[in-house]
Structure 1
């Protein structure tokens, strides 16, 4: 007879797993190549040559190309992976709640990046009899450090993991269909997107209440998911669908790669941990109406809104992003941003921006707060980034 583990024993195992994460990340220090920065920049923000055009970037304050903000998480994300919980808890769904970034300097070709990990944290745990088990986690708390032992950036990643004991039925949401006017409107916004580039945005010219020009994500397709997927730090592991299948075929019980429809009893293949982003059926068996977008696509769109507005000479010092509503494949999202504060601190001229994304269904799906450092007409560049 199988003996079920107690909640206390399971939590002990999870905490032990978290304890083992502390310290230098167990991967080889990564030398950032020019080609990796260029590929990422062209895929995420092809309108901005700062990320990939060497001749253009050589004349900027950076003296060469730099990586699009948050590029370093593609090297190593530090997320926990599957928690050691029993099958009796049910199947897991995970929501990437958001990320908190602090940035000290841009990533450049030739940087040799190492990662220091602080301990992940359980910030919420709600095990109730007869109910789902819900974990709110700081899944990753990392510093990215270069070969000079200088902090490049730090990030905290927040996720929610829910273990469902009973089948989850998707809400009645359909793939979004566009009117002619909506498509014309989106095209007009997209053609109107401007990259400030080498035209300096001075701190004195920014006013509280200024609006940032919108940026459009979509109308999305599976290609957008593929772009985000290919820049995952563990793409090789995620692509091992054959291994996921074989490891889930067991005599006693099938593993998590094998999904069973509670109505028909038939089995289906998940498609790996990211199956919910490719397969409508995988998404539906997790309680979603259809395949949905990787959250980082929304993050990149919000960051593009900032970089388009601030130009080559601005620098994002902080970026806090929260994901609130799923965005489904086929949706289009439009960013908005507004300046909510400005001040001078330690000889830096700073601006705070509030941003959000809204889809054509009428939902605000993401929100973010950013702090940006700008040049001053009066002081010039008195302090270098990272000092």
Structure 2
């Protein structure tokens, strides 16, 4: 990694952020085993309880989704939904994740599996629950000594008592001190310059591509017209900047716990010291979540540079699918693994291909697809899959079947 910094070595050490550090031991394992199956208290991490017009619009903007179906009430009423509606991933703006357990360990959200059952309409109220289902491990890791992987289940229910979505997600917890040491050694082995040194011409080409990518919208993609091997329409993100992360948070992203300021934050940090660290430059108390926009925090976590949010990346995958399938399609399920980091300044190109055409037991016509998300270095940072129900020329669309009467 190339770093341009004129700070003297002693001053640089003084400016290092420090976070609590621990190793996985028998007492910690026993404590977490006892918590398996518990429904967690998540009030401090809930961001939206109602899908208001403003909440949905802010979320769509925060993930960079320009489909007017989510933001134009008339477009929603004219669609198969019959009313203004939120994107499927909006439930992640209500509640996504929580900082839980394993004091002194670092953690990364590493995978998600989502199932979408019902639309979320403007005006719906969404109640979220989160169950800690236990962990796997510990096991040795090439990244950081030993790791354990937590398993969670989020359930989202509307005011009618209908479960609109379920999300399983996994978090890898690691021994932070070991990760930081190995990260520094690995950086020397990699030809990695951060931030990425884009030329103005390269940035112009990327942004022209972003502006050319349009959602399919109200032009139905019929099941009969899809062939195995068809590619999904590409979706480009980047160069990813600080405001992209701030917009995701403002749209209801994943503050775990919810972000606060001044006395409101200090009261929380006094009660939960593991939630924060001291910024070595500003002197402020900052949340652990700041790894996504604060380089000192990222370095203390054992990572070279600020990086994206797991659920943010998941929302990109959902957007890829809704862009391709059109407003009359329905995402039944999708899953993704988060491999490597998406650093600020990276460009990520999402795409995929149709693997199979199927008729489900319900009688719906669907396709199974695999997806990818490749950065400018050619690495697939989010391989995944999805099942998408598509309209047919002779039957009702999958949205019509789920639309509220």
Deviation (angstroms), 1:132: 3.4
Q: Which has the higher contact order (CA 8 A, sep 6+)?
A: 2
**1:194–1:308 contact (8 Å) kept in structure 2:** yes
SS at match of 2:165: strand
| Alignment equivalent of 2:253, drawn from 220, 232, 235 | 232
Map 1:41-190 → 2, pairs under 5 A: 41-77=60-96, 79=98, 81-85=99-103, 91-126=104-139, 132-138=145-151, 140-166=152-178, 167-168=180-181, 169-170=183-184, 171-172=187-188, 173=192, 174-190=194-210
Q: Which has the higher helix share?
A: 2
The correspondence for 1:333, drawn from 348, 351, 354, is 348
Q: Is the 8 A contact 1:258 1:268 kept in 2?
A: no
Unaligned runs of 5+ in 2: 1-21
1:259, CA displacement in angstroms? 5.9
Unaligned runs of 5+ in 1: 86-90
Q: What TM-score do you get using the length of structure 2 for normalisation?
A: 0.80
Say if 1:268 and 1:349 are closer, same or farther in 2 by CA, change over 3 A. Answer: same
Alignment match, 2:6:
none
State how 1:1-387 maps to structure 2 within 5 Å: 7-21=25-39, 30-77=49-96, 79=98, 81-85=99-103, 91-126=104-139, 132-138=145-151, 140-166=152-178, 167-168=180-181, 169-170=183-184, 171-172=187-188, 173=192, 174-230=194-250, 231-232=252-253, 234=255, 237-240=258-261, 257-258=276-277, 271-345=286-360, 346-381=362-397, 384-385=401-402
Whole-Å separation in 1 of the counterparts to 2:317 and 2:139: 32
Distance in 1, matches of 2:197 and 2:260, equals: 31
Output the CA distance in 1 between the equivalents of 2:352 and 2:37.
39
Deviations 1:28-57 (A, max 9, x none): 993432321222123334521100100121
Change in CA separation of 1:194 and 1:256 when aligned onto 2, cut-off 3 Å? closer
Residue 7 of structure 2 corresponds to which residue in structure 1?
none
Cα RMSD (Å): 3.3
Partner of 2:10: none
CA distance in 2, matches of 1:11, 1:235: 22
Distance 2:269 2:210 in 1: 44
Mapped partners of 1:6, 1:186: distance in 2: 43
Q: Contact 2:256–2:289 at 8 Å: present in 1 too?
A: no
Give yes or no for contact 1:298–1:357 (8 Å, CA) kept in 2: no
Compared CA separation, residues 180 and 21, structure 1 to 2 (3 A):
same
CA distance in 2, matches of 1:292, 1:233: 14
SS of structure 2 residue aligned to 1:220: coil
Q: Which moved more, 1:357-366 or 1:111-120?
A: 111-120
